[in-house]
Amino acid sequence: MKKLTNNLMAGAVALAFATAAVPAMAADSSEPIVIPTHNWSSQVVMAYVIGGIFENMGNNVEYVPADSQAVYEAIRNGDVTISHEVWQSSFGKSFYNAMAAGGVIDAGTHAAATLEEMGVPQHVIDNNLCPGLPNWEALKDCKDVFVTADSGGKGRWLEGPQSWHGDLMPERVDALGLGDDYVVTFAGGADALWAEVAASKKNNTGLIVFNWTPNFTDADGFVFIEFPEYTEGCRKADGGDGSCGSPKGWLKKAANYKMPKTHPAAYTAYSKLSFTTTQIGQMAALVDVDGMTHQDAATKWLADNESVWKPFTN
Ligand code: TMO
């Protein structure tokens, strides 16, 4: 009888340990995973793609429009759960600042390498509108090719919205000694950039415009200008002279530090998730070339690419 009791006790202890181990495999919280949407197409489509993957796993998701710099502070304080396109050049600093302050974790890196840089549509090179491009020094001799109605007789650099990276480009124009010949103007949104690219192609006119890769433009030809090489600290905001170009960068995923505990299954999938240059370019093209809504684009992408995303979930 004593023996039996001991065995029962041992069994109870073992069971207690097994129960204690259960939280590691606990189900995801039913609290929504909050996914931010910003103002360029791949990011918004990918938001719905990732939200669709989480929903497929049984999670609740919520989407919030967010500023692409302030979002890292919002993740830190828990208002937003993830940021799935952390572009090194534009957002690396805000991301690392929020990590240093505590509350944001690095959930891994996409396969795609990135570049966010001023450039010209392919026809500008093919038709030799500014001989010597893509070397930036060629710009010294062809400002007239890039003058527009709103540029006051100077060549125009058409930047994206200022919310992406502040005065980075105006500072670069000055640092390179191009300030007498070139001026930076900021587009209201990404659509304005693509409208200008289309118009310059159609009319065979010059255009210097901010763009990035991966993007839908990878498929139809776009040439990034080659500026002095990026080095750590070369930017004005980091104490440098500001003359450098953008880094050949990474594309990371950020998350609130509690997500691995609150949504362990979704977090595991998210940490495995990685998209290639081609896949991210496709997400953008469904909207910017094919004219789909972001939601429809995500639904189609998920349907067409189950073999890509299913493995993230198990
Ligand atoms: C952050 N972006 C992709 C617009 O350069």
Average pLDDT score over residue span 268-293: 98
pLDDT at 16 over 70: no
3-state secondary structure of 86: strand
Cβ partners under 8 Å of residue 274, min gap 6: 108, 109, 110, 111
Of the CA atoms within 13 Å of residue 259, those in its CB half-sphere come to: 33
pLDDT at 83 over 80: yes
3-state secondary structure of 127: coil
**CA angle 220–221–224, rounded 5-degree value:** 145
CATH of 115-238 given 3.30.450.40, 3.40.50.2300, 3.40.190.100, 2.30.30.280: 3.40.190.100
Same fold, 33-113+249-313 and 115-238: yes
Of the CA atoms within 13 Å of residue 275, those in its CB half-sphere come to: 30
Confidence band for 19, pLDDT divided at 50, 70 and 90 = very low
Handedness of CA 11, 12, 16, 22 (dihedral sign): positive
Residue 261: count other Cβ atoms within 10 Å of its Cβ: 12
Ligand 1 atom closest to residue 164's alpha carbon, by position in its atom list: 1
Nearest CA to ligand 1 atom 5: 116
Cβ partners under 8 Å of residue 269, min gap 6: 53, 54, 57, 312, 313
Residues with Cβ within 6 A of ligand 1? 40, 87, 90, 116, 160, 164, 212
Give CATH for domain 33-113+249-313: 3.40.190.10
Contact criterion met (CB below 8 Å) for 186 and 162: yes
Closest CA relative to residue 207, chosen from 148, 153, 146: 146
* Statement: the pTM of the whole predicted model exceeds 0.85: yes
pLDDT at 4: 43
Q: How far is the CA of 90 from the centre of ligand 1 (A)?
A: 7
Ligand 1 pocket, mutate which of 37, 39, 90 (most atoms under 8 A from CB): 90
Q: Express as a percent the part of the chain with pLDDT over 90.
A: 91
Rounded to whole angstroms, the Cα distance separating 314 from 310 reads: 7
Confidence band for 312, pLDDT divided at 50, 70 and 90 = very high
Rounded to whole angstroms, the Cα distance separating 49 from 61 reads: 11
Cα distances from 193 to residues 134, 182, 274, in angstroms, run 19, 18, 27
Average pLDDT score over residue span 242-270: 98
Q: How far is the CA of 16 from the centre of ligand 1 (A)?
A: 51
Least confidently predicted of 13-17, 238-242, 307-311? 13-17
Residue 29: count other Cβ atoms within 10 Å of its Cβ: 16
**Where are the chain's structural domains?**
33-113+249-313, 115-238
Closest CA relative to residue 83, chosen from 56, 113, 103: 103
